[in-house]
Structure formats: structure tokens, C-alpha cells
Structure 1
């Protein structure tokens, strides 16, 4: 399915001549002029970008990593330096400091959690290295510490999930449990807030909520705990597909039918989740598009060319019921 961006114009691929011009007017790698001036790549025209990924916790993250690695290639004028933080903020901070020491042209990362970034981002700013946030935002009062955020509206995703739940199940007295993402992570905070605001006024009640850290294994474990603690669960809201798939395993092991005995709503719309939706084991999925590599490449080139960029670039996410999942699956990219 084609990606749609709400607040940007997609740039055409940069030509070899444009890359040469960028390199010809550059000075030392990682330098930046103040006051909205031009930031330049190395003299050979190759853009060295250091990227710190959250981890490899889900199918969504794997698709996101593949999009970045497939796009930021030598053929496209990039030298990508990639690191996996294994869901630890200290690993990301260490990676960012390593990129600063290497004097890369640009640093990009998907923050493990929202807070605690000001010091290291100030170090990047002092070194004249622009920072681009992907997928997840940071909670900072100083927006000059980064150039742009590229990703989804997590609050809206939660709202879309909650609105569908309220439309389908209000009046049924449903008791819901929530599988949260990693504590302190932007999608976990925002999806929870969005879902709760959307079901407010309905008779859907969240009776338990715990983190499953966005992983299938922990989603299964937490769901097993929910099933042991409650005998009246009607609905599961999982902050991502992987935790929802783990919940399916726990529900089936308990002798119940997911999608029927217990309804399931998730967010992401990766292939495994979409297949479970098509099979009737999940009831509704809100998309979170992971294919951010082209956006990151475009914004990086604009920043280094000294062009103005949007501070917040939000991609459009769709939503799927069973029929829509069956239609989308044959051409699904992730």
C-alpha cells in the first residue's frame, strides 16, 4: 500500500549532479552554520548518517529497520552507520556520543523513551550535527535540539482504536484489558491516552493494564496473568500487533477462541497481525506505517542543503477490519 504524508511534499530522487553540487560547496563533515544556514556533507558528496534504532522487539521494528537500511545506501549517496540499542536508553546515548565523536553529518534515532535526551542532544548541537527523530518523539522544552520529527500520530492511533471499540461494543458492558508498550515510550503513553479518551462515555471499562514491552513473548505472559486474575475479559487492546499475537496464544492455550470469546484490537498492521485479522483472530487493527526510510533520506538532504523543514512530519495511517485486511494482504509491503 502506498504511503501518504500529511504535511510534506515528497521529493524526487536526488540526481548525481545535485549530489556533486552538495559535495562541492561543503567544508568539513559535520559542520553547520548558525541561524538556519547551510549544513554540509563531506567533500565526496556522501552523507554519513548515524542511526540508533530502538531494538528488534517486533515485526514492525524489523520492517522499519529494513526500510532505513534499504534506502540509506551507497547507491543513494549515504554512508549509514547503524546501531541497535536493545531497548536501553543508555545504549542509545552511548551510540549518539559515538556518532558525535566520528563527526557524522547527521544523527537520526528512534528514542527508547521520551525523556532524558537534552544533555546528549545539546552535545550534538554544540558539535554542529543536526538530529532527526524518527517514529518516536522526545519530551523536551528546547525544540532547537532537533531538526524534525518523522512518524505517526500515536494519540490518533489510540483514538481510532477506541472509537471503533465504542462503536462496536458500547452497551455491551465490555470489560477490557490493555497490553501497554514499553513504559515511558511515546507510543505507549499516547496510544493509552488516545484509547481512553475515545471510550470515555461508553460502558467499556479497562479492568487491568500492564506493559508487555511491545514483544510477543511478554504479551503472552501478561495475557496469561490477566486470564488468571479475571474471568470476565471481553476485550484486549494491545498497543502493537506482536503483543496482540502473544495474547492470541495465551487465549487459545486457555481453551478460548480469540476474536470471538475475547475480542482483540491492535495497532501496527504488520503482515502477521493482518493475517490474524484476516483469519478472524484479531477484530480490528489501526496501522502504524514503518516505512520511514524514504522520508528520512528526503529530510536529511533538505537539512544538509540548508532548506527549511517541517518540525513535525506526520504520516497517514489507515485502519483495517477483516474484509480490508484480506484485500490488502496480497500486496502488503510489511
Structure 2
């Protein structure tokens, strides 16, 4: 009886040991609390990755573009959109069509949507203090793109990305000094400016005048605001030719679209642009370089519109907590008749 009772005691225990041993040696078995397949096959330890963690949401950038007034502006908008897509940044794009009030509305909309950052290409320099203060109070960093803002508190924006418009004006002036070095003068000049109050109109004009002012033989006969558009360039140039005729020896245009419109008016008048009248422009669009190849434009100072990659880099660096310089200037060059034919096919806009 004692032996039989002892055997009955050990029999269940042996069965448990056998079953446990079989289970632990099964190739698909896993440590307690770890599902099959969730451990490293080489190391035999739990995988460090956690697939249950949701992916981080994309950065949201609100961008207020000022308009569609030129080929340059359209290239600038496309650059921003393409760069945002490539960087995986969600872009809320609003076009103000030359209205500062619409830009204010767009910025307030971005604030309401609680975007991560705001970028603005301002129509004009002045009038930004209050709206930028609203963004600052909402804790949303602001990046200024292309054109500057004239505000009392510079802490209301992080950085300005774009061209040095004053230097562009100086480059245009330096070209004219070299081109007309052997001319006794006087040299009559007409100037087609962009939008009144905009940074490029102010600084391109100032840089040009400061440079040619070194020689008294240069006379600016007329200086007109033409809003950076092709149509207005043609209209205003027609009027200037009717008023001044062949007194005009030089046209300085603040952008290519106005210059291209002015060339049409010059040819209608019976003069040869680039020969009877020196044409100097700013931008560097494909259409302008094509006119240079034809000998109808003498000099184009480059203003690079492809600012999208610069903007997205700044956005990413800000989100990573890095500090940016207050001014980021894009590299640019000057095109002349000699370089235009070589460069025209490389233009993306």
C-alpha cells in the first residue's frame, strides 16, 4: 500500500515534467509574455522596436505667398511646393494676389489651425508689427521669405531668407558704368520699378542710384512704378517713348517681366533694344536669357527664386531646436551677352 501510494504521488509530477520539457523545446515557443516572432532570431532576446508606437505627425507649415505677378513668382511658388513635398512637410499654401489684407487673413487662419511654423513673402515692407505680434503670442515662429519687413521688434520673426536686393541694384549700376565708360554723356536713363513700398523696388533702386551717382554724366529721366508685370511694362514704356523719344539711352528694369514688355514697346517705336538702347534687367528667367541670346537685352542680374529648399531646411532646423542666422542670403550671379547662350538651357524657370 505504501509503494502504491508513493507511485500514485510521483506519476502526475513526471507527466508535468515531460509536458513542460516538450513545450520549452518547441521551435515556435517564446518567453512568457512575448508573442511569437517578437524577439530577435539571432540573439534570442526581445526585439527593441515597438510597432505599437504611432508614427510622428508631419511638420505643418503655413505659407503666405504674395501673388502671381511674374514668371519669377510662379517659379518661387513651385519651388516651395516641391521642396515641402520632398521634405515630407505638410504645406498650407495661401496666395494673396498682391493684397496685404489677404496675407493678414491667411496668417490668422494659420494661427487658428495651430500650424508649427509660418512663412511669409510680404507684398510690402510696412504694416507687419501687429500681425507678427499675434503669431508671436500664439507661440508660432515666423520665417520671412524673399522680401523684408520693416518692424520695430525684430524678435517677431526668426530669419529672412532671400536675395540682397541692394547688391543687385549695385551690380546693375556697375555694369552700366563699365558699358558706358567711354561715353562722354549725358546718358539718359529710364527706370521701371516694381510695386511701391516693396523691398526689391526700394533696394534695387537705391543700390543702382548709389552706384551711378558717382558719375554726373548719368541722368535718370523718369522712374515709374510698374508693379513687376509684363503688360504694365509695355504700357509705361510706350508712354515714356512718346514723351522722351531717343533721349532714352538706357532702360533699367527691376524685373524681367517688365523688361520684356518694354522691349515690345521699344520695337514698336522703331528702335532696336540692346543696340539703340541698353537694356538692364533683374531676375534671370529663361525668357530674358533668350532675349539676351538675340542681342535684345545687354545685362541681367540674377535673383534666384528657387528658395524652397532653403526654407524647408530652415523649418527642419528650427523644429530640431537649432538657432538660425537672422539673414540667409542666396548666392547669385550676373548674366551678360557672353554667358547667356551658355546658361539659357540650364534655367528651370
TM-score by length of 1: 0.86
Secondary structure at 2:301's aligned position in 1? strand
Q: Are 1:135 and 2:146 matched, yes or no?
A: yes
In 2, are the aligned partners of 1:169 and 1:204 still within 8 Å (CA)? Answer: no
Offset at residue 281 of structure 1 (A): 0.6
Aligned residue for 2:57? 45
Aligned residue for 1:191? 204
Q: From 257, 261, 267, give the equivalent of 2:272.
A: 257
The within-5 A match list for 1:62-211 is 62-73=74-85, 75-170=86-181, 171-202=184-215, 203-211=217-225
In structure 1, the gaps of 5 or more residues are: 1-23, 25-41
In 2, are the aligned partners of 1:45 and 1:77 still within 8 Å (CA)? Answer: no
Secondary structure at 1:213's aligned position in 2? coil
Q: From 273, 277, 292, give the equivalent of 2:292.
A: 277
Superposed CA RMSD in Å reads 1.3
- In 2, the alpha carbon distance for the partners of 1:320 and 1:90 equals 36
Deviant stretches of 4+, over 3 Å: none
- In 1, the alpha carbon distance for the partners of 2:348 and 2:219 equals 35
Secondary structure at 1:230's aligned position in 2? helix
* Greater relative contact order structure (CA < 8 Å, 6+ sep): 1
- Render the CA deviation track for 1:35-80: whole Å, top value 9, x for unaligned: xxxxxxx98330111101110111110110110011101x522111
TM-score by length of 2: 0.82
Alignment CA distance shift 1:43-1:207 (3 Å): farther
Offset at residue 255 of structure 1 (A): 1.4
- In 2, the alpha carbon distance for the partners of 1:186 and 1:101 equals 29
In 2, are the aligned partners of 1:111 and 1:137 still within 8 Å (CA)? Answer: yes
Q: Are 1:327 and 2:339 matched, yes or no?
A: no
